[in-house]
Amino acid sequence: MTTSVTALPDQETGQIKMLHVHIVRFRESSGVALFISAVHGVADGTGFYSFVNRWADEMRALLTGVPAPEISVCFDRAVLIGDPTDERAEVDDLLRVSITTPLPAAIAMGSLSPIERNKAIHAGTQNANHQGCLYRIGYDKLACLRDGVQKCTVDGPRVSINDALSALIVKTVSQAQSANMAEFLNSPSKPSDMAHLHLTIIACDCRRRLGISDMNYIGNAQYLPMTTNPIERTIQATTFETLAEVAAPQIRAYFDVLNQNPTLFMGPSRFGLYDIDFGYGAADFVTSRPTRFA
């Protein structure tokens, strides 16, 4: 990809660009590739791709002569917090500590200017040997997964496909990493012993869970649920029952903690990649970067 995973300073002005777009024409004008990179602090993935979709709508309008549909957007972060009387759940101690205690590397990065920090992150990304995988799963398969998990949440909140898929990823990653933890499985486990816990964090778009998906909120609305499981449990079979944990009250309490620590930042998740149409139909292939820094 020709755009950086982090926004780099412009070579001429030295300033960080809010948006970087690079268009590459294929041989014999057989098509084009569009690379887009934005400053993550402006919006999460959902907000970013909402912008790209609107850009595509405007370009399509120029091509067809049909005005782009009118839309309204919301920039008010208060919609994530809700009313003070809304139900809330306590954020568990592990999650509270993890999001309020910066790592030494984060403290070091925070001491740099935005330009120097982005240069450092970019250099680290370039030197890392990361590999990404892309999977295409049919909607019917995802709907089947969602329906199976939903049956296990009696009187609970509605489970979205993204909820079920995120839970499945957490479980799968836990099982894959358990192969590197064999030595712990042979020693006695204590509830308070962190060495016997597997920690997984996955970024989820909380708009739907909080009932604000129709507001077109542009900003960072990512919820990073943290799952801890005893190592012995990670090797157990994946079932619908083990995937059925979602709760809007916990999300609201999570944002309460973030408000008390406003310097925190998060990563993106679900996007409408194939909704983007610049006037020539949906792209043949669209993907976000497999390596992401937030």
Whether 39 is covered by a domain: the verdict is no
Whether 67 is covered by a domain: the verdict is no
Which pTM was predicted?
0.58
Tell me: pLDDT of 73 over 80: yes
Q: 142: domain range?
A: 74-271
Whether 184 is covered by a domain: the verdict is yes
Whether 9 is covered by a domain: the verdict is no
Number of separate domains in the chain: 1
Mean pLDDT score across all residues of the chain: 74
pLDDT of residue 191: 47
In one-letter notation, the amino acid at residue 270 is R
- Report percent pLDDT > 90 for the chain: 5
**Highest mean pLDDT: which of 96-110, 175-189, 234-248, 252-266?**
96-110
Structure confidence by residue, pLDDT tens digits, 236-288: 667 766 666 544 555 566 666 666 655 444 433 456 677 888 888 888 888 77
Whether 132 is covered by a domain: the verdict is yes
Whether 15 is covered by a domain: the verdict is no
**Highest mean pLDDT: which of 68-77, 79-88, 121-130, 223-232?**
68-77
pLDDT of residue 264: 45
pLDDT of residue 58: 93
Tell me: pLDDT of 189 over 70: no
Whether 122 is covered by a domain: the verdict is yes
Whether 96 is covered by a domain: the verdict is yes
In terms of pLDDT, which residue wins out, 272 or 192? 272
Residue 153 pLDDT class (50, 70, 90 cuts): confident
Residue 123 pLDDT class (50, 70, 90 cuts): confident
pLDDT of residue 255: 64
